Structure 1
Amino acid sequence: MLICFKTTVSVPVLAASLALLGACQSNNSAQETSATAQTSQADTAAAKQPLSEPLVRDIYTADPSAHMFEDKIYIYPSHDIEAGVEENDNGDHFAMRDYHILSMDSVNGKVTDHGVGLDIKDIPWAGRQLWAPDAAFKNGTYYLYFPVKDKQDVFRIGVATSKSPTGPFKAEPAPIAGSFSIDPAVFTDTDGQAYMYFGGLWGGQLQRWQGGKYNPNAAEKEPNTDVPALNARMAKLTPDMKKFAGPVKEVVILDENGKLLLASDNNRRFFEGGWMHKYNGKYYFSYSTGDTHLLVYAMGDSPAGPFTYQGVIMKPVQGWTTHHSIVPIKDTWYIFYHDTQLSNKTWLRNIKVTELKRRADGGIETITP
């Protein structure tokens, strides 16, 4: 089913307005006039916000990677299904098998489902679990990056190409050499150099790669102790966008004192779902904290970091997981994310979008879903 947004006043703004009106009843007429004007301004601002409602309702979607291609919004989400797999910390119940590609002419416009852009059966080396993807464009070719477990049940990252943003995409015959774990996010800097950020804990297997080789006997979870946290990984991409152009490096995240975040600091440490964007010359690395269900961000002066933790972008949504993308659309920044409004099941999610606001210093205002 295709849906459209309608502008309205959000619940938080309405609640604030009602409280303000109640206070004004006990004040003089001059104060009432001022309060009414302020309320009107708040209502006008709120009316410009897109509703945080599911973008599609006939399929379950998650992990939305949004991009502006050909002056249109394209969204590359996971496609959740009811696979009948028991829920566990390894995420085996997230047993996705294909990607549907969505598009919108505007944030307030209807959503078009272009159908399956890539199916797991068409990836020669794939085993199971087609998790959160990302996309990029260069020199007339669209690239779809995806994590999937190989036939040895180890997550690797692959790439598929198409001449159309809607696919179909054709997968390369092997995963990207040197890739591992999950959640690829590709950022192309203003100089044209592209980078991939990736990694995820627990079911994402990042904790099993600490020696540079996969250790199937490693712990299923990272140590929750006062040791440095396991961080995301990043690598430069080659000009053809299909290989790593150098060694895989750690995405270093520091606290306000320049110290490494600790594994026990699960309100701030990296868990999964990394995303990079650039604003006013600064690099913003945002990510999920996983078991504490926050979207947070850190800032740096280089795409390679280091990054200093800044704060919370979005408080917990309904459901266990949280995963996002941040993009500018017609001079306004938006955050695409997901929750479980439609199903109330953590493995059957629905994607949403809302405006991302910044303070004068470039910091991001916290969103309460």
Structure 2
Amino acid sequence: MHRLNILTLLFLSNFTFAQKLDKKYAHQPIISHIYTADPSAHVFNGKIYIYPSHDIATDKPNTNGDHFDMRDYHVFSMDSIGGKVIDHGVALDLKDVPWADRQLWAPDAAAKNGKYYLYFPAKDKNGIFRMGVAVSKSPVGLFKAQPNFIKDSFSIDPSVFQDDDGESYMYFGGIWGGQLQQWATGTFDKNETRKEVRAANEVALTGKIAKLKSNMLEFSEKPKDVVLLDSFGKPLLTGDQDRRFFEGAWVFKHQNKYYFTYSTGSTHKIVYAIGDNPYGPFTYKGVVLNPVQGWTTHHSIINIKGNFYLFYHDTELSGKSHLRNVKIAPLHISESGVIQTVNPFIK
């Protein structure tokens, strides 16, 4: 009860703050008893499951994202949008991942052959982010981690897309704390401390894609760049902060087109680009979600019963960048395939 009272006070405090800015939140947190972020939502057997990261209070400094010191994952479910959200408890704990040392950041999940796979980044014993996978017979776990990380994996924000032909692909990557810039030369550079390793007029760093083997536990190929283009067919440049990739990839298919959605990072937008196959290239089209309250922005998109929904996070409950909460918004896509931008605030 004490915890709930604190969260209520935080909510009211932030609500008042938003009113002072002449803004009100457009959507309400769906989970309030713990802090959650980076929601990966899926529909398995007609039911909605959410795989978020679990934010915790910490006194670690904001150095390369070290204050995001998550240590376990909870799985949540709901029978329908707007329905009761059930917390199924800890599905995977850091101490049960043999190769991992710290920071269980944004995860994703997939289902195949009667099994469920939880994909997650964590820093290994050398402080390098890698991708792990854990397996369960239930979508809510418990998940058992594989003894080693996925070979050739690196950086953060795994997102697994399963195409109509049964093939599965992992998209991943995040700049700055996600270490993607430290892999710019193809191998990890522990001495690289810059957030940007390319000039403003050079082609931007971008997310990665790798097809998964049928066992869902390994890459079947070396990761490749996700090519992002402007409307003239030119690659997006490092200085193009409104459109270039930063982190948080999520791919879905609509009208036989592939939508690559992602966070722009420094400009705090979720944007989208469209391609003709899982590898792209993807042409930039527009904004999915305008900037939220809080530094980070990370999302997922599902289609249930013919309707699209956007899952995202902000900091309404805490007002702190590392203590976030998950929200849901309807997502409208026109007959021509244009996504209507979601605003996290209303006037």
Same fold (TM over 0.5): yes
Partner residue, 1:210:
184
1:187 aligns with 2:161: yes
Code of the aligned partner of 1:152? N
5+ residue gaps, structure 1: 2-50
Equivalent positions of 1:244-259 (< 5 A) are 244-259=219-234
- Separation in 1 of the partners of 2:73 and 2:58? 15
**C-alpha displacement at 1:224, in angstroms?**
5.1
1:140 aligns with 2:91: no
**C-alpha displacement at 1:273, in angstroms?**
0.2
Task: Indicate conservation of the 8 Å contact 2:268/2:292, yes or no.
Answer: yes
Partner residue, 2:15:
none
Specify which of 196, 205, 212 is matched with residue 170 of structure 2.
196
Specify which of 216, 238, 242 is matched with residue 263 of structure 1.
238
Code of the aligned partner of 1:235? A
How many residue pairs align between the two structures?
A: 319
Equivalent positions of 1:198-347 (< 5 A) are 198-222=172-196, 223=198, 225-347=200-322
- Separation in 2 of the partners of 1:64 and 1:291? 20
- Separation in 1 of the partners of 2:137 and 2:169? 21
1:91 aligns with 2:71: no
What TM-score, normalized to structure 1? 0.85
Specify which of 44, 52, 76 is matched with residue 77 of structure 1.
52
- Separation in 2 of the partners of 1:69 and 1:252? 30
**Other structure's SS at 1:195 match:** strand
1:173 aligns with 2:116: no
After the TM superposition, which parts of structure 1 deviate over 2 Å for at least 4 consecutive aligned residues?
Answer: none
Code of the aligned partner of 1:117? A
Specify which of 15, 35, 55 is matched with residue 60 of structure 1.
35
Q: Deviations over 1:199-240 (max 9, x none)?
A: 000000000112221111123301451110000000000000
Partner residue, 1:367:
342
Specify which of 70, 76, 83 is matched with residue 109 of structure 1.
83
Partner residue, 1:358:
333
What TM-score, normalized to structure 2? 0.91
**Other structure's SS at 1:130 match:** coil
**Other structure's SS at 1:121 match:** helix
**Other structure's SS at 1:309 match:** strand
The alignment yields a C-alpha RMSD, in angstroms, of 0.9
Code of the aligned partner of 2:149? P
Code of the aligned partner of 1:215? D
Of all paired residues, the percent bearing the same amino acid is: 60
**Other structure's SS at 1:256 match:** coil
- Separation in 2 of the partners of 1:110 and 1:86? 36
**Other structure's SS at 2:249 match:** strand
1:164 aligns with 2:166: no
- Separation in 2 of the partners of 1:211 and 1:202? 15
Code of the aligned partner of 2:202? V
Q: Deviations over 1:267-295 (max 9, x none)?
A: 10000000000000000000000111000
